[in-house]
Chains A and B, each alone.
Chain A
Amino acid sequence: MIAIVASAAQTTLVHLSTVDLVIIAFYFALVLGIGFYLKRFAKTGEDFFLAGREIVSANLGSLELLGWAGSAYQYGILAAHWYWIGAIPAMVFLGIVMMPFYYISKTHSVPGYLQLRYGPAASALSAVTFAIMTILMSGVNMYAMAVVMKVVLGWDINFSIWVSSLTVGIYVAAGGLFSAIFNEVLQFFLIWFGALLIPILGLIETGGWKGMVARIQQNFPGQDFTHAWSTLGRFQDNPMGMHWTGIVFGLGAVQAMGYWTTDFLVVQRVLSAKDIRSAKMAPIIGSFFKMAVPLIVILPGLLGLAVLPMHLVPASSLQPGQYSYNEVLPLMLARYCGPGLLGLGITALVAGFMAGMAGNVSAFATVWTYDIYRPFLRKNAPDQHYVSMGRWCTLIGLFASIGTAYLAMGFASIMDYVQALFGFFIAPLFGTVLLGMLWKRVSRAAGFWGLLAGTLSSVTMFTLMKLDHRWVSVFALSPHAQGLAQDMYQALWSCVTCVVVTVLVTLVTKPRPDEELKGLVYALTEVAHEEHTSFLHRPLFWGIAALAVLLVLQIIFW
């Protein structure tokens, strides 16, 4: 074993001291101990699966931290749009418009809504695509954890991927899902305390924002990494190869709206609110927090452009001795963190990836067992049978994730990959759900065929752009469009395809009677209203305030 590790080891930037190892070991001992302690509180299958549903919901994880830091190095401050226009309007829309509707319709999930609105075919299609997405997301978490191991321990990336999967397998088997839930809560704190030091120390080293910008201009002459809008007039003027239409329509109107209004993990979490006002306020309050997240996820990438002595490269064209965009955060960690702090940072990252993997794999088990296997393949089996099926799926999901980890490696950066996934599954779903809610005429067949056409068009566009670069000019409107720009136009066109097909099929099929659509279509539903409260307690007031703060941020970083 030692020989294998030694042969896998390459040069390493940092050396873990005893205190770092104690910090890492203490964390896992604590998480496993808590999991063991909590096992006696979980007895039924419902508990097992509900745990799976809840884990992925608290979603500021290591993947975001590592991935967006890498994207900020790759694309500059344009990456912050995914937290600003790519989140805030959608969160406010979710709170003000969608929440009252979700709240009254009493569906527990988007597949549940699709089942009632469009029937089992559309629901099954959405469950299958979601199950695939969880495995792909688990794989990218595995790959990201391997990236950290590679930088910190100097291990070969292939060896690191296998070690990551083995670690999570042991962790899930030993601690169970309750360990994973506690891990999710603990890692949230670890991430903030482990990562916040990097922007603080980075800004001290560069002499503040202006000093950082000056250093970036010195290191990358002729390129603009620090303006959020002024370079979006032409594709070739910014490092992303992006046009403002891609940001506003692809990201803001489709990808973000789709993520925040149809990702049932997000919706479900907010639905657990105690009353309608709380349900509406939850995403709006969250939007203020979201606007601050670029401080710890985008700023380290920008600081990397300013202070790192080497130029990082795309992961897909990495040569020995080079570092990829994905490695900017561990490199910055190594730059500023000595013994103790290094252990904290590494624990935060690794804990987050393990939570991401365990959460996605268990969500896969839940969706397969409850949304596919039970309704379509075997109804009315004993509870124990479904629990057993769930456990097997967790194991299968983990192995499948190893394969998908290698898929993630073929992309320039982690977020290029993650956003492409959202484009496959979330963008078309948004078209289907929105039309279903707003237009009572949409028929069952139209919902299914629209969703299928949108998903297939997204996968087709993605494949063509990967196989032949000439297709990038067709779909992303410019040969300069890089990964994230391609992803946004792919999302936009797949949503448009979904809407067009849904409308066309609707026009030639029979609508459902109004009585069947009460509680499912906006116009036929008496949506919930919050009680009369003072101005300062109204969700609408805070929604407008969030949009105003967003506007100010855009002007500052224009």
Chain B
Amino acid sequence: MSEKHEIIPVWFFVGVLLLVYGFLIFASGLAEWSHPPETVHLANLHAPVWWGGLLFVLGLVYCIKFSPKRKA
């Protein structure tokens, strides 16, 4: 039962997921900045850049706050 004390909190994994997704979406938004996809409406608003950035920041906060190292 002592193993249960070592379990990594789910929120850390949520952070990792948001961090990686934020980075990927932000990077793809930057890559298509000068030639946004024609089939997507409102592509001129560059939603992937700011939405990806938001996910990245939130993911970073979760990763730091729930880091297993920090707990130890």
Q: Which residue of A lies closest to B3 (CB)?
A: A41
In the complex, which residues of chain B have a beta carbon less than 8 angstroms from the beta carbon of A344?
21, 25
CB-CB under 8 A for A336 and B41, given A19-B28, A41-B4, A341-B25: yes
Structural contact, A340 and B43, CB atoms closer than 8 A: no
Structural contact, A193 and B4, CB atoms closer than 8 A: no
Structural contact, A204 and B36, CB atoms closer than 8 A: no
In the complex, which residues of chain B have a beta carbon less than 8 angstroms from the beta carbon of A185?
10, 14
Q: Which residue of B lies closest to A336 (CB)?
A: B41
Structural contact, B3 and A339, CB atoms closer than 8 A: no
**A159 contacts chain B at the CB level, 8 A cutoff:** no
In the complex, which residues of chain A have a beta carbon less than 8 angstroms from the beta carbon of B32?
338-339
**A40 contacts chain B at the CB level, 8 A cutoff:** yes
In the complex, which residues of chain B have a beta carbon less than 8 angstroms from the beta carbon of A336?
40-42, 47
Structural contact, B21 and A197, CB atoms closer than 8 A: no
CB-CB under 8 A for A189 and B14, given A201-B47, A204-B45, A338-B32: yes
Please report whether the interface of chain A is mostly helix, strand, loop or mixed according to DSSP. helix
A343–B37 alpha-carbon span in the complex (Å): 15
In the complex, which residues of chain A have a beta carbon less than 8 angstroms from the beta carbon of B45?
201, 204
Q: Which of B7, B10, B18, B48 contacts A341 (CB 8 A)?
A: B48
A334–B14 alpha-carbon span in the complex (Å): 25
A335–B20 alpha-carbon span in the complex (Å): 24
Structural contact, A193 and B40, CB atoms closer than 8 A: no
Q: Which residue of A lies closest to B8 (CB)?
A: A37
Question: How far in angstroms is the closest Cβ of chain B from A204?
Answer: 6
Question: How far in angstroms is the closest Cβ of chain B from A151?
Answer: 14
Structural contact, A193 and B18, CB atoms closer than 8 A: yes
Number of A-B residue pairs with CB-CB distance less than 8 Å in the complex they form: 86
Structural contact, A339 and B28, CB atoms closer than 8 A: yes
**B55 contacts chain A at the CB level, 8 A cutoff:** yes
**A205 contacts chain B at the CB level, 8 A cutoff:** yes
Interface residues of A in 85-118 (CB under 8 A from B): none
Interface residues of B in 27-45 (CB under 8 A from A): 27-29, 32, 36-37, 39-43, 45
A17–B36 alpha-carbon span in the complex (Å): 13
Question: How far in angstroms is the closest Cβ of chain A from B70?
Answer: 19
A265–B4 alpha-carbon span in the complex (Å): 25
Structural contact, A204 and B42, CB atoms closer than 8 A: yes
Question: How far in angstroms is the closest Cβ of chain B from A302?
Answer: 16
In the complex, which residues of chain B have a beta carbon less than 8 angstroms from the beta carbon of A340?
24-25, 27-29, 48, 52
In the complex, which residues of chain A have a beta carbon less than 8 angstroms from the beta carbon of B37?
338-339
In the complex, which residues of chain A have a beta carbon less than 8 angstroms from the beta carbon of B13?
30, 34, 182, 186
**A23 contacts chain B at the CB level, 8 A cutoff:** yes
In the complex, which residues of chain A have a beta carbon less than 8 angstroms from the beta carbon of B16?
30
Q: Which residue of B lies closest to A182 (CB)?
A: B10
**A128 contacts chain B at the CB level, 8 A cutoff:** no
**B61 contacts chain A at the CB level, 8 A cutoff:** no
Annotate A391-424 by CB proximity to B: 1 below 8 A, 0 otherwise: 0000000000000000000000000000000000
CB-CB under 8 A for A30 and B17, given A185-B10, A201-B41, A205-B41: yes
In the complex, which residues of chain B have a beta carbon less than 8 angstroms from the beta carbon of A174?
none
In the complex, which residues of chain B have a beta carbon less than 8 angstroms from the beta carbon of A186?
10, 13-14, 17
**A213 contacts chain B at the CB level, 8 A cutoff:** no
In the complex, which residues of chain A have a beta carbon less than 8 angstroms from the beta carbon of B18?
189, 193
In the complex, which residues of chain B have a beta carbon less than 8 angstroms from the beta carbon of A540?
none
A454–B8 alpha-carbon span in the complex (Å): 47
Annotate A514-552 by CB proximity to B: 1 below 8 A, 0 otherwise: 000000000000000000000000000000000000000
A538–B55 alpha-carbon span in the complex (Å): 36
A27–B16 alpha-carbon span in the complex (Å): 10
Question: How far in angstroms is the closest Cβ of chain B from A369?
Answer: 25
**A22 contacts chain B at the CB level, 8 A cutoff:** yes
**A500 contacts chain B at the CB level, 8 A cutoff:** no
Q: Which residue of A lies closest to B16 (CB)?
A: A30
Structural contact, B47 and A341, CB atoms closer than 8 A: yes
A340–B28 alpha-carbon span in the complex (Å): 6
Structural contact, B10 and A197, CB atoms closer than 8 A: no
**A26 contacts chain B at the CB level, 8 A cutoff:** yes
Question: How far in angstroms is the closest Cβ of chain A from B42?
Answer: 5
Q: Which residue of A lies closest to B62 (CB)?
A: A189
**A293 contacts chain B at the CB level, 8 A cutoff:** no
**A132 contacts chain B at the CB level, 8 A cutoff:** no
In the complex, which residues of chain A have a beta carbon less than 8 angstroms from the beta carbon of B43?
338
A190–B58 alpha-carbon span in the complex (Å): 13
**A456 contacts chain B at the CB level, 8 A cutoff:** no
Q: Which residue of B lies closest to A194 (CB)?
A: B21
**A337 contacts chain B at the CB level, 8 A cutoff:** yes
In the complex, which residues of chain A have a beta carbon less than 8 angstroms from the beta carbon of B29?
340
Q: Which of B3, B20, B42 contacts A26 (CB 8 A)?
A: B20
A481–B7 alpha-carbon span in the complex (Å): 53
A307–B29 alpha-carbon span in the complex (Å): 24
Q: Which residue of A lies closest to B6 (CB)?
A: A41
Q: Which of B7, B21, B36 contacts A338 (CB 8 A)?
A: B36
Interface residues of A in 306-347 (CB under 8 A from B): 307, 334-341, 343-344
CB-CB under 8 A for A27 and B24, given A185-B10, A340-B48: no
With A185-B14, A337-B40, A338-B47 given, name 12 new contacts (CB 8 A). Answer: A22-B24, A37-B8, A38-B7, A189-B14, A193-B18, A193-B21, A197-B47, A335-B40, A338-B28, A338-B43, A340-B48, A341-B51
Q: List 7 A-B contacts (CB under 8 A).
A: A19-B24, A182-B10, A189-B18, A337-B40, A339-B48, A340-B27, A343-B24
